[in-house]
Amino acid sequence: MKSNSTLFDFILREWLLIAAVSGLAATSFYLKKVPVFLMPELQVLFLLWLLFVAIKGLENSGIMSKCSQVIEKGRFVPLKLVVLTFILSAFVTNDVALIIIVPLTLSLNITRKDILVILEAFAANAGSALTPIGNPQNLLIYWFFHITPLDFIKSIAPFSVLFLLFLIIVSITVRTQNNKASQPRKAVTRRAVYIYGVLLVLVDLIVLHILPIAVGALVLVYAFLFDRKALRVDYFLLITFLCFFGIADNIRTLLVSNLEHTDHVFIFSALSSQVMGNVPVALLFAKFTTQWKALIWGTNVGGFGSLVASFANLIAYKFYIAHEDSDNVKSFTIKFVVYGYVMFFMGIGLYLIMF
């Protein structure tokens, strides 16, 4: 009986992994091909692994708990978290922003963490859309079409600004309370804070192409030799990413048409993101169209909606359900998807109004 319960719990928590593996197997079988994983995709997975380990080390050091005490003071905790996530995501990418903010949020001694994590995922998607370096699909489109920074920001600024205002209004209405039954705070280990802080900066410099990716091995070497607890990260999430890269490669072989109509580019890229994720969609559609503005809007609007629509959604979702205090996985999943599609259709409406 216990084994059945354990299997059910695994399926409930890792259904996304199961779906990704099944989708990869089905598309590979149908096309009779083995997916090709490009070097940039494998580098993204490696960088995510490094970020997970560095953040896990910081979390174990107790610094997250210390920072949470500062955030808990005063009013408007949801507002502070949403705005901070929005700003961070514009400059350090949405994935990195959530890897930092979501564990911090889960260490807070307050209620309604599920809503906060969902709002943070949305804030990361909205904030990262504003700059060419905010998310992978923006960077890809920015370089592929040789867009100037000003043209890029002007084309997508209404999307980011209006969604920020909406999220600010929503976050102000969210009422949180201190959770008196929460666990005691961890003591801060200063040495670990300094070491993992430096390692996190190294990874950020790699993401910005200032340091070579080989430098990232220092993170894994240190963790393996001195702090193996930091290696206990969500490897199922990394496997899920790998499967979706494979699915995207399989689907890429099915698309051979040229997309030039602006509305078609927007709606097809937004809808395709719901299944493939907006990063693979940007990579795929850029080869078939010259309508870069529609593609920027489509992939960024497409980041809302399903859990696989963006890596940011996956990261926020997996961090929450993997946390030891999360006992409402089904409710959280429903809220995330429902609220996500509200934002998705709001984005479609905004595009139709403006263009």
Tokens of 139: 């960077």
Q: Where are the domains of the chain?
A: 2-354
Give me the half-sphere count of Cα atoms (radius 13 Å) on the Cβ side of residue 230: 29
Alpha-carbon gap, residue 119 to 178, rounded angstroms: 19
Break the chain down into helix, strand, coil percent, rounded to 5: 75, 0, 25
Rounded to 10°, the helix 39-61/235-252 angle is 160
CB atoms within 10 A of CB 146: 7
Alpha-carbon gap, residue 163 to 151, rounded angstroms: 20
Alpha-carbon gap, residue 279 to 26, rounded angstroms: 21
Q: pLDDT by residue for the chain (355 residues), tens digit each? A: 445 557 666 766 677 778 778 888 888 887 788 888 877 778 878 887 888 888 788 878 877 667 767 777 767 889 999 998 999 888 777 887 888 888 888 878 888 888 999 999 999 999 999 988 788 788 778 777 878 888 888 999 999 999 999 999 999 998 887 765 555 566 778 888 889 889 988 887 886 678 898 998 999 999 999 988 889 887 887 888 788 778 777 776 665 455 556 777 898 889 888 887 888 788 778 767 788 899 999 999 999 998 888 888 888 888 888 775 666 788 888 999 999 999 999 999 999 998 8
Instruction: Name 110's bridge partners.
Output: 178
Alpha-carbon gap, residue 117 to 218, rounded angstroms: 30
In this structure, are residues 340 and 145 in contact, taking their beta carbons and an 8 Å threshold?
no
In this structure, are residues 16 and 240 in contact, taking their beta carbons and an 8 Å threshold?
yes
Question: Any idea what DSSP says for residue 108?
Answer: S
